[in-house]
C-alpha cells in the first residue's frame, strides 16, 4: 500500500476494499467470464441444434467452475492477454479452457459465438456497476441518511438562530435544518434508483449480422432481450458497436447531485463547529495540530468535502465523455469506463468520513441559546407582521428604525418599543410573548 500511486489503493485501501469485488481488474475479468458462460448456457437453452446434446450436468459443471473463480483464474487471463494483446479474447480462451476441464471441449466454438468485445464489456460493466451501487454505495448512503434522521429527531425541538447571507435571521430548529438535507438526499436517491442499467448485446455493429446469417430462423433480438434481462439489466434495442451510455451518464449525474448535497452539508456542519454550536468528542491519542495542543479540528468533514469534489470531477467527466463515440465505435469509452470505480471509491471514503464526523458531534445547547439571546433584533419580523394585522401604520419602517444599524438590540429595547406602541394592551401582551427562542414557525 505504501507503494500505491493513488490513495484509493494506498492510504484509503481499508475504506475502499469492499469495492474491489466490483471495480478491480479481477472483478472485470470475473464479470466478463460470467457473461461468456451465461451466454453459452442461454444458447443451449434455445437450443441451437449443435448444442442439443449438452446435458444439464455439463452445464452445471461449467457454471460451478465459473462460480469457483479465484485470483489465480484472473492471473491466467492476464497471462493469456500477454499473448493475445486483447483482453476479451483472453477471457474467451479462458472459458474454452474451462470447457475442456468439464468435458465440453467439442462445443467450445460456441463460446463468444457471433459476438464482439463490446457485447461482453457493455454487459459486464453495467452488471458490475449495478452490483457495486446496490451492495456498497446505496447501503452506505442509507446508513448516512439514517444517522441524519436519528439526529434530526433528537434535535427536533432545539431552537437555533438561522443565518441568511451570514447574518442573523428568523430562528429555526436544528432538527429541521437536518431534515432539509435528508429530504434532498431522499429525492435524489429515489431518482437514482429509477435509472435502468442498460447493456448492449447485438454483435459487431448492433445488427446481429453474424447471428442472423448463421441461424436466420431464430429471433435474435428477442433472445438477447431475455438473456440480458436474466442478468438484471435492460438491453438497448438500437445501438452501434457499443452501448450509448446515456443511462450510465444519468447515474453519474445523479451521484454528482448526491455528492453536491453532501458537500453543502459538510460546509454547514464545519461552520456550526466553528461557531461552537457543536463540540467534537475527543479521541484518545489523536492530535489536532502538531503545534497547538488544544486543537480538535473538523477533519472528517474537510476530508469528506475534498473527496466528494474528486468524485464529482470524475462523475462529470464520465457523464460527458462516455455517451460520445465517433461513428459506430471508437476506443475512448474503453479506457474511460475502466475508471468507473474511482468516483465510487471517493464517494465511499467521503460518506464514511461523514458518518465518523457525525458520530463525534456533541451539541452545545448553551451556545445556541446565547446566540439567540444576543440577537433580539430577529423578533422584529414577528412584531411588524402582527402590527400589519392590526392596521398599525408603517410597522416595517418603525422596526427598521429601531433595529437596523451597528448597535446591539437587547430584550429591554424590544420591550420598551412595544410599550411605546399605540395599540391595545392585548396586542402588547401578545407581542411581549414573542422571544427569539420561541419564534420558530412550524417544527
Active site residues: 165, 289
Quote the crossing angle between the two packed helices 87-101 and 25-45, to the nearest 10°: 60
Amino acid at each position: 500500500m505504501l507503494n500505491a500511486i493513488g490513495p484509493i489503493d494506498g492510504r484509503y485501501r481499508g475504506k475502499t476494499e469492499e469495492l474491489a469485488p466490483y471495480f478491480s481488474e479481477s472483478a472485470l475479468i470475473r464479470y466478463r467470464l460470467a457473461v461468456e458462460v451465461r451466454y453459452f448456457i442461454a444458447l443451449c437453452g434455445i437450443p441451437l441444434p449443435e448444442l442439443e446434446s449438452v446435458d444439464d450436468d455439463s452445464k452445471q459443471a461449467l457454471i460451478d467452475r465459473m462460480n469457483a473463480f479465484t485470483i489465480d483464474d484472473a492471473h491466467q487471463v492476464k497471462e493469456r492477454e500477454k499473448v493475445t494483446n486483447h483482453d476479451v479474447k483472453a477471457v474467451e480462451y479462458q472459458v474454452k479452457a474451462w470447457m475442456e476441464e468439464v468435458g465440453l471441449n467439442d462445443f467450445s466454438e460456441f463460446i463468444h459465438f457471433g459476438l464482439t468485445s463490446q457485447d461482453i464489456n457493455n454487459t459486464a460493466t453495467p452488471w458490475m456497476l449495478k452490483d457495486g451501487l446496490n451492495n456498497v454505495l446505496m447501503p452506505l448512503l442509507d446508513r448516512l441518511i439514517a444517522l441524519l434522521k436519528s439526529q434530526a429527531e433528537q434535535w427536533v425541538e432545539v431552537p437555533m438562530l438561522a443565518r441568511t447571507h451570514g447574518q442573523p435571521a428568523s430562528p429555526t430548529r436544528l432538527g429541521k435544518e437536518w431534515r432539509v438535507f435528508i429530504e434532498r438526499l431522499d429525492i435524489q436517491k429515489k431518482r437514482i434508483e429509477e435509472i435502468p442499467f442498460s447493456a448492449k448485446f447485438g454483435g459487431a455493429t448492433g445488427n446481429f449480422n453474424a447471428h442472423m446469417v448463421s441461424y436466420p430462423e431464430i429471433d435474435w433480438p428477442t433472445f438477447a432481450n431475455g438473456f440480458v434481462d436474466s442478468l438484471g439489466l435492460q438491453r438497448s434495442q438500437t445501438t452501434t458497436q457499443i452501448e450509448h451510455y446515456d443511462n450510465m451518464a444519468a447515474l453519474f449525474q445523479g451521484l454528482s447531485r448526491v455528492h453536491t448535497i453532501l458537500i453543502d452539508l459538510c460546509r454547514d456542519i464545519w461552520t456550526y463547529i466553528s461557531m461552537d454550536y457543536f463540540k467534537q468528542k475527543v479521541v484518545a491519542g489523536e492530535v489536532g495540530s502538531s503545534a497547538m495542543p488544544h486543537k480538535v479540528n473538523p477533519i472528517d468533514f474537510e476530508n469528506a468535502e475534498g473527496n466528494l469534489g474528486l468524485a464529482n470531477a470524475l462523475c462529470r467527466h464520465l457523464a460527458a465523455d462516455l455517451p460520445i463515440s465517433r461513428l459506430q465505435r471508437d476506443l475512448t469509452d474503453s479506457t474511460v469506463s475502466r475508471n468507473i470505480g474511482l468516483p465510487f471509491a471517493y464517494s465511499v471514503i467521503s460518506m464514511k468520513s461523514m458518518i465518523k464526523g457525525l458520530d463525534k458531534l456533541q451539541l452545545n445547547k448553551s451556545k445556541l441559546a446565547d446566540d439567540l439571546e444576543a440577537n433580539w433584533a430577529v423578533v422584529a419580523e414577528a412584531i411588524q407582521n402582527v402590527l400589519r394585522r392590526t392596521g398599525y401604520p408603517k410597522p416595517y419602517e418603525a422596526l427598521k428604525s429601531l433595529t437596523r444599524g451597528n448597535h446591539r438590540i437587547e430584550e429591554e429595547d424590544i420591550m420598551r418599543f412595544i410599550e411605546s406602541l399605540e395599540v391595545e394592551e392585548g396586542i402588547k401582551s401578545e407581542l411581549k410573548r414573542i422571544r427569539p427562542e420561541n419564534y420558530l414557525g412550524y417544527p
